[in-house]
Structure 1
Amino acid sequence: MEKVKYFVENQAFGVCTRLGEKFKISTSSIRLYFIYTSFITMGSPIIIYLILAFWMNIRRYLRQRNNPTVWEF
């Protein structure tokens, strides 16, 4: 079960995990929130989720660009 959970979290950008760590809330409750609100509002939280995932990837890219490793010189 842990392998499946790790695979899904890697493929799903890690947004729920990051939000859980930031606000000190369990990751599973955040995932359930996204699922329930997606059904109730017909998918609008999915757009928010994708925006957050995009923002996290941009931040990671900018950090790597500002702090190059020894091998990138």
Structure 2
Amino acid sequence: MRFVIKLKYLFEKQGFHIASRLAEKLGMRANNVRLFFIYISFVTAGLWFGVYLTLGFLIKLKDLVRAKRSSVFDL
């Protein structure tokens, strides 16, 4: 269990260090960089959910337009 805690601490330390170095290079605060990464992850997840819903709607629309008819008189 101690190994897992040390590993978690190492990943957290390195992750925050990356955000700090990036913020230092860009000349802004590290909190703003971390918030940007959080917001952009929500945006990208929401974007693909919107694409999924749009494709589902188009497939349903295609099925409604191209209904199977057995003869000419079904129009």
Does the pair score TM above 0.5? no
Scaled by the length of structure 2, what TM-score is found? Answer: 0.41
Identify the structure with the greater helix proportion: 2
Q: Which has the higher contact order (CA 8 A, sep 6+)?
A: 1
Scaled by the length of structure 1, what TM-score is found? Answer: 0.42
